[in-house]
Amino acid sequence: GVIGGFNKERVIHSPAKGILHNVCKITDIVTKGETIAVIKTNDGDIRVSATIDGILRGLIRDGYPVTQGFKIADIDPRKDEYQNCFTISDKARCIAGGVVEAIMQLKGERGL
């Protein structure tokens, strides 16, 4: 969704296949264009830059293998939303609730 006037710009996807190495960490305040990670590929290193100014709310762990287009980071333009770095999103909470309901429904149908 739109947060602080930004939508898809908040999410950063891997520009290439390789191994992700973090330069920044979750909770860091970043500026547009700042290098937040580097992807080591067979053809060399590729910088991954912040797409907007904000707080780094999500970032794939250091050393993780990524494919091109893989979601690797999320920036929240609301720099004062530090606590959001330690919670799950409303969307994730809704999905989790749906999974719990489905499990409970299945258990009820099977008499478990």
3-state secondary structure of 3: strand
Q: Whose structure tokens read 């009820």?
A: 108
pLDDT tens for the chain, residues 1 to 112: 777 777 788 899 999 999 999 999 999 999 999 999 999 999 999 999 999 999 999 999 999 999 999 999 999 998 887 777 777 777 788 999 999 999 988 877 777 6
Cβ neighbours of residue 39 closer than 8 Å, sequence gap 6 or more: 14, 15, 16, 18, 19, 20, 21, 45, 46, 48, 66
pTM recorded for the entire structure: 0.75
pLDDT of residue 60: 95
pLDDT of residue 47: 97
pLDDT of residue 93: 85
Q: Whose structure tokens read 């993780």?
A: 64
